[in-house]
Amino acid sequence: MSRKPAGAASGVRWPAEWEPHSATWISWPHNAADWPDKLATIPWVYAEIVRALSAHERVEILCHSAALRSAARSALTAHGVTRNVRLHLCPTDRAWLRDSAPTGVLTRAGKLEWVHWGFNAWAKYPDFARDTKVPECVARATKTPTRIALRPDTGDHAVLEGGGIETDGRGTLLATEEWLLSRVQVRNPGMRRADYERLFATELGIRHTVWLGEGCVGDDTHGHVDDVARFAAPGVVLLAHERDPRDANHRRSLDNLKRLRRARDARGRPLTVVPLPYPRAVTMRGQRLPASYANFYVANGVVLVPTFNDPADREALATLSRVFPRRQVVGIHAVDLVWGLGTLHCLTQQQPAPRDHQ
Domains and CATH numbers, the chain: 3-352 (3.75.10.10)
The set of residues, in sequence order, having a beta carbon less than 8 Å from that of 325 and lying 6+ positions away, is: none
Angle CA 6–11–15, to nearest 5: 95
For residues 35 and 44, give the distance between their C-alpha atoms in angstroms, rounded to a whole number: 13
Residue 9: pLDDT above 60?
no
Q: Work out the number of other CB atoms within 10 angstroms of the CB of residue 82.
A: 10
For residues 312 and 334, give the distance between their C-alpha atoms in angstroms, rounded to a whole number: 14
pLDDT digits (tens, 9 = 90+) for 119-168: 999 999 999 999 999 999 999 999 998 999 999 999 999 999 999 999 99
Contact call for residues 216 and 263 (beta carbons, < 8 A): no
For residues 358 and 354, give the distance between their C-alpha atoms in angstroms, rounded to a whole number: 10
The sheet carrying 272-277 orders its strands as: 229-233, 236-241, 272-277
For residues 229 and 295, give the distance between their C-alpha atoms in angstroms, rounded to a whole number: 9
Q: Work out the number of other CB atoms within 10 angstroms of the CB of residue 20.
A: 13
The set of residues, in sequence order, having a beta carbon less than 8 Å from that of 66 and lying 6+ positions away, is: 89
Helix (H, G, I), strand (E, B) or coil at 204: helix
Identify the active-site residue in 63, 90, 216, 346: 346
Question: Considering Cα of 325, then 331, then 335, then 337, what sign does the dihedral take?
Answer: negative
Contact call for residues 344 and 338 (beta carbons, < 8 A): no
- Beta-bridged to residue 174, according to DSSP, are 166, 210
**346 in catalytic set:** yes
pLDDT digits (tens, 9 = 90+) for 262-285: 999 999 999 999 999 999 999 999
Helix (H, G, I), strand (E, B) or coil at 18: coil
pLDDT digits (tens, 9 = 90+) for 68-100: 999 999 999 999 999 999 999 999 999 999 999
DSSP string, 178-192: HHHTSSS--SSTT--
Contact call for residues 274 and 232 (beta carbons, < 8 A): yes
Q: Work out the number of other CB atoms within 10 angstroms of the CB of residue 47.
A: 20
For residues 130 and 91, give the distance between their C-alpha atoms in angstroms, rounded to a whole number: 6
Residue 194: pLDDT above 60?
yes
CA distances from 112 to 102, 159, 216, 356 (A): 12, 21, 32, 11
Angle CA 260–276–309, to nearest 5: 155
What is the separation, in whole angstroms, between the first and last Cα of the chain? 24
- Beta-bridged to residue 70, according to DSSP, are none
pLDDT band at 183 (very low <50, low <70, confident <90, very high): confident
For residues 52 and 73, give the distance between their C-alpha atoms in angstroms, rounded to a whole number: 16
pLDDT digits (tens, 9 = 90+) for 332-344: 999 999 999 999 9
pLDDT digits (tens, 9 = 90+) for 17-32: 999 999 999 999 999 9
Average pLDDT over residues 198-220: 97
Q: DSSP state, 319?
A: H
